């Protein structure tokens, strides 16, 4: 069996605030720094999604990249682009929108939508040109 990985990138812009409502403003600022600004701040995110599977002998694809693009757009980007991640994205309503939490949430939005034979390998979220988080799923490295 030969497994091949394919990757699709997407971009979105969004605002957020890192904070815990059960903490004081001082504690939030101490832990989250400028990201705790009560007036929000924004990023131009890059999302990198990689799937793996066998090459279909009929099409030559692991999966059609147009289909992967559409899944990413429909399940993630359309909800997040030009939105406030704290207040406008229902599937993030119970999490502090750190890049770590975004990567895990995006995984959950994409994994179940992939066609049979295409398995999600990683979700990489680049928050800035210097900061990124990669999530490789709930069983990465044998951990659960």
φ, ψ (nearest 5 deg) of residue 4: -125, 145
For the question of residue 19 being annotated catalytic, the response is no
For the question of residue 35 being annotated catalytic, the response is yes
**One of 25, 30, 54, 82 is an active-site residue; which one?**
82
**One of 16, 19, 43, 127 is an active-site residue; which one?**
127
For the question of residue 41 being annotated catalytic, the response is no
Instruction: Name 42's Cβ contacts closer than 8 Å, sequence gap at least 6.
Output: 13, 14, 15, 16
**One of 16, 35, 43, 58 is an active-site residue; which one?**
35
What residues are annotated to the active site?
Answer: 35, 82, 127
């Amino acid at each position: 069996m030969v497994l091949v990985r394919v990757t699709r990138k997407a971009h979105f812009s969004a605002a957020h605030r890192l904070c815990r409502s059960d903490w004081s403003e001082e504690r939030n600022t101490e832990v989250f720094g400028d990201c705790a600004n009560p007036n929000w701040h924004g990023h131009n995110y890059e999302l990198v999604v990689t799937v793996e599977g066998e090459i279909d002998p009929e099409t030559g694809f692991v999966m059609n990249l147009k289909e992967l693009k559409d899944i990413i757009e429909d399940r993630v980007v359309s909800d997040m682009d030009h939105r406030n991640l704290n207040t406008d994205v229902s599937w993030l309503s119970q999490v502090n929108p750190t890049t770590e939490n975004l990567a895990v949430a995006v995984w959950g939005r994409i994994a179940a939508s992939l066609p049979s034979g295409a398995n999600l390998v990683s979700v990489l979220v680049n928050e800035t040109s210097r900061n990124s988080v990669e999530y490789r799923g709930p069983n990465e490295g044998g951990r659960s």
